[in-house]
Amino acid sequence: MTVTGIGVTPTTQRFREKLPTRRRYLMCEPRYFDVRYTINPWMDPTVPVDADLALRQWRFLVETYRRLGHQIDFIDPLPGNPDMVFAANGATVANGKVYGTKFRYEQRVAEGPAYLEWLKAAGFRQEQKTTFVNEGEGDFLVVGSRLLAGTGFRTDPQAHAEAGEALGLPVVSLELVDPRYYHLDTALSVLSVGGDEGDEIAYFPGAFTRSSQATLQLLYPHAVIATARDAASFGLNAVSDGYHVVLPGDAIALASALRDRGYQPVPVELGELRKAGGGPKCCTLELRS
């Protein structure tokens, strides 16, 4: 566990009015989506996948973002890459810079160069080559002026410092221990940044080592704590614009807790994509200029 270059932001028990900000997202149509192999505990190739339903659910997510006022860009899916719909794993983007992905499993290796090519064409720059295995925003979450970095199942811990240098952000390393929450974005959500009470997150403590739980308690003493049931429903694989929080509709307790904090939960259904271990955040790569 490492914590580098960070300070604890003062917080209060009184939560400010939440304000949405317009975001830019990159997404990939699930044209070739299927579950053909097993690289996480949610994937079972013997369970049928309804590709048409997966596409309809994904399109509803796109329209939800558009209805909330966000800009959506699209990358063309590559044949033979059924997990390319999970755009969050394609890279990490902050301050107009890109830290490229280097996938752990052979089945997804081709996705990394495809996302990097798209990002370069869109004007984002990669200032250094990616050396270590990492899976993009699956394990790297930008929270205000710091980068929360996950490890334990996919991302090499040596990638944390490399990502921080590439993006110009101090890094907080967090270790995952439950294979169901194989990426950081399945166990922790970024809700809002800045303001009198500092940055706000939600997370499920059971996904982390004790030392990582202590780090999160120190940095985010007023975080929203998710239940085990809501974590298992991928409730934390959510996307927030600072007010609206797009999350699976069956994360009921989490939605209630968010309302109590002044957020507006926006439920979506991505049950078919969940068969591959994905939710709203997995499908969404934020493009931060």
Residue 227: other Cβ atoms inside 10 A: 16
The span from the CA of 161 to the CA of 227, in Å, is 31
Q: 277: phi > 0 → left, psi -120 to 50 → alpha, else beta; which?
A: left
Q: Establish whether 282 is a catalytic residue.
A: yes
The residues near 76 (Cβ < 8 Å, ≥ 6 apart) are 28
Looking at 28, 70, 160, 282, which residue is catalytic?
282
Looking at 70, 160, 183, 244, which residue is catalytic?
183
Candidates 283, 257, 287; CA nearest to 86 is 283
The span from the CA of 159 to the CA of 173, in Å, is 10
Burial 158-195 (b: 16+ CB within 10 A, else e): ebbebbbebbebebbbbbbebebbbbbbbbbbbbbbeb
Q: Give the residue numbers annotated as catalytic, written as ranges.
A: 183, 282
